[in-house]
Amino acid sequence: MVLVTGAGAGIGAALAVAAAEAGAAAVVAVDVDGPAAEATAAQVRDAGVAAVAAHTDVTDAAAVRSLVTAARAQHGPLGAVFSNAGAAVGMGLHAPGALWDKAWAVNVRAHVTLAQAALPVMARDGGGHLMITASAAGLLGLPGDAPYAVTKAAAVALAEWLARDAAPHGIRVSALCPLGVRTGLLMPAVEAGHPAGLAVAGMGPILDPAEVAAAALAGLAEDRFLVLPHPEVGPLYAAKAADPEAWLATDPAAARR
């Protein structure tokens, strides 16, 4: 069984459909937007795979625990969990505290909570795969959105920590780190000329969610930790690691050009 959070649209919806097309026995599509989750579940069922929608707020730890328990009871072992919910802010250091709190709650704590609920279940069942949707912003930074860049870096660090800790239990952990993706999270910022949106668009092509989902499933099949749907990200990340001072003095979009 495959469980996907943030499955109501964008990358999450594409992951749910791609998992079904790849042979998942069942899919649980989770989103805070119940009708959107049901629309994704309907797409999965149209592909001939059993699917249910779960209207769940991933920042609610008790609700997430209940979700995992019910999903395991109804649909069998958790073969793969895609912890995919995310939130952008679009502001710098002085974003209001409530927006910083939201970024931490969705982009970090929700992954922690889902891992706390799912990994023990997966370990008892003999293993599985957890993929955290972080972002290339978590590797490279992102001008114009401090809460997003900081919390996505924390999501990558969390995935790395979990990868070591869960491996002895037969659980593989990956970090999915795309650049620009054609979703409601990015495109309004690009169209408005927001610095964060323009920075992302300048660093690589904007992919469709289905392309990111295909890369995610390929990374899962190849047992890779760092899954980079945009090949541009690897060299940029290596350049940053090799010379952080030069990186900070350079526009990464200009460096790519």
Which sign does the torsion angle of CA 35, 36, 37, 39 carry? positive
Q: Is 148 labeled as catalytic in the residue annotation?
A: yes
Which candidate in 20, 148, 163, 176 is catalytic?
A: 148
Report residue 221 as tokens.
Answer: 């099949």
Question: How are beta strands 2-4 and 226-227 bridged, if at all?
Answer: unpaired
Angle at 85 between CA 68 and CA 225, to 5 degrees: 85
CB-count exposure of residue 224 (10 Å: 0-12, 13-18, 19+): middle
Question: Which residues are part of the catalytic machinery?
Answer: 148
